[in-house]
Structure 1
């Protein structure tokens, strides 16, 4: 990736798919390139990874304001979204990517990336990494802003295969986006004044999750579970499980919150 190709390979591509950009230097031993590359392969095109050598592209580094490497940003619809600076492990990098994808869905960006530069490999490996047409109907609906259509498509997939983890996560993400489209201005006040107002508590948790405040969202709902009973408690529990699906079952924050939820219930 270079200054000459940045406009086309990053800015223009970010209109269809989130682009994650790592600024690095051969003079520094610190790098998150291997971690991001592994996640890029695992996520099968849900985001595009680009790496920029700041020594070879000083003007681009200056334009972005790079002061130390590694620096990782995202670009959505041509807008820069800071992610993190410094070396991080795979679990933490995954958290940043998952939050980025949630924001991308909220902005209707659901395309799949193809490699930048040389042509993609052919043969079995290429077929394995190709986007799954099973989810095409739902993803096209999201791209068109048809959230109800996307929800229906994911629900149809789950009827066919209730254990489809990607469809389950996709449904949870789209439902989250829909719930947070028109949030009442007084919802946080309502939630603060009445800990048992489950509608307000669940909506504030949704807003927190969309803003990347995952632990806050989980803690709020676990507290609400503790403060309620009967049908209200069950509704909050199910809502929290849905947010777990958004973040991902393997996320450390979800694992910890599940333990706290079990303690709150029993």
Structure 2
């Protein structure tokens, strides 16, 4: 795990190690002063800066990146989770990252970044696909992993990250309010969780995806839909699992070269659109297939149109990009 600096011209300078060091020193001074005052007052007073567990998982945007990530990284390693609402692997990975961050008990903070709302950050980090996970320690970036990975691998990566923060930068993390943690645990235990008859099958699909068993995930989602054809979660999960299965063994360079050389070839354009969508380039994927529908006829046009409808399922009917693409499709069809 090697740190690297990353220049974020126009957003933030991730090479600002000096600034991060100054922030760390100020934080340590504040803690020391609070501890001194608590000692004079007597009694068991919580340490200054103690935070509830909920504060360990935060949403971050471009405007707050300097404060919420760079400055904070002087006190605690900040894990960056680049995600999107339409990304099924993100939905599998996100809750796992949150749970493991809470379990780290203040030695890590998780910053969630919606790539659709923060395109500049996505570009500056050079992200080609999501989910993508980085860390920032004392203002320095450490790439962690990309895609949905097994829990044990994440645990090992987080342990290594904590070790790097402690040994190389002397960063020990932040204190978690034990009382708030206990209250949250009681509250969670008291809230009844509704159980769906399909929860076990949906969980099996997620477990299959985590294990890289795309065929098993596809079958699990199909099992739900066989019993409940209107289950939107299963429909979206199936479309996403099938997409991942299609692109799993593709050669991206060869696929894109074939699409560039054969702009009217339905198979070439469909394959490239799958890659576009899997890489997070939603508008590119939709636009490519709408353009292909425009220049094809008969069975070729039907094949492209049907794949476009399948990709709509991956993103979800409520997404405005799907609505816009449906309108564009209707124009070229009628």
For Structure 1 versus Structure 2, the TM-score category normalised by the shorter chain is 0.5 to 0.7
**CA-to-partner distance for each residue in 1:99-136, whole Å, 9 max, x for gaps?**
856999953569xxxxx94215245x541389933412
Cα 1:127–1:197 shift into 2, 3 Å = same
1:59 aligns with 2:127: no
The DSSP-based 3-state class of the residue aligned with 1:254 is helix
Count, aligned residues:
205
How do 1:169-208 and structure 2 match up within 5 A?
169-184=236-251, 185-208=253-276
Q: In 2, Cα distance between the equivalents of 1:148 and 1:243?
A: 18
Cα 1:83–1:231 shift into 2, 3 Å = same
Aligned to 2:317: 249
Query: Structure 2 stretches of 5 or more lacking a match?
Result: 1-47, 83-92, 98-109, 119-128, 134-144, 152-179
Q: In 2, Cα distance between the equivalents of 1:209 and 1:187?
A: 14
1:83 aligns with 2:149: no
Residue 233 (structure 2) aligned to one of 152, 166, 171? 166
**Structure 1 residue 82: deviation in Å?**
7.9
- 1:158·1:168 contact (CA, 8 Å) conserved in 2? yes
1:239 aligns with 2:246: no
- 2:286·2:325 contact (CA, 8 Å) conserved in 1? yes
- 2:258·2:268 contact (CA, 8 Å) conserved in 1? yes
Cα 1:222–1:102 shift into 2, 3 Å = farther
Larger Rg, first or second structure (1 or 2): 2
Aligned to 2:286: 218
- 1:138·1:149 contact (CA, 8 Å) conserved in 2? yes
- 2:57·2:112 contact (CA, 8 Å) conserved in 1? no
Aligned to 2:59: 22
**Structure 1 residue 83: deviation in Å?**
3.2
Aligned to 1:259: 327
**CA-to-partner distance for each residue in 1:161-200, whole Å, 9 max, x for gaps?**
2211111100111111111112233211211121221121
The DSSP-based 3-state class of the residue aligned with 2:286 is helix
- 1:108·1:142 contact (CA, 8 Å) conserved in 2? no
Q: In 2, Cα distance between the equivalents of 1:249 and 1:134?
A: 23
- Stretches (4+) displaced over 4 A: 2-5, 52-58, 75-78, 99-106
**Structure 1 residue 73: deviation in Å?**
3.8
**Structure 1 residue 250: deviation in Å?**
0.5
How do 1:124-143 and structure 2 match up within 5 A?
125-128=191-194, 132-143=199-210
TM-score by length of 2: 0.50
Cα 1:55–1:102 shift into 2, 3 Å = closer
Aligned to 1:146: 213
**Structure 1 residue 258: deviation in Å?**
0.7
Q: In 2, Cα distance between the equivalents of 1:176 and 1:144?
A: 16
**CA-to-partner distance for each residue in 1:215-249, whole Å, 9 max, x for gaps?**
01100000011111111111111111111111111
Aligned to 1:44: none
Q: In 2, Cα distance between the equivalents of 1:57 and 1:127?
A: 34
Taking only aligned residues, the RMSD between alpha carbons, in angstroms, comes to: 4.4
The DSSP-based 3-state class of the residue aligned with 1:232 is helix
Aligned to 2:148: 107
The DSSP-based 3-state class of the residue aligned with 2:59 is strand
Q: In 2, Cα distance between the equivalents of 1:260 and 1:143?
A: 35
**Structure 1 residue 58: deviation in Å?**
5.8
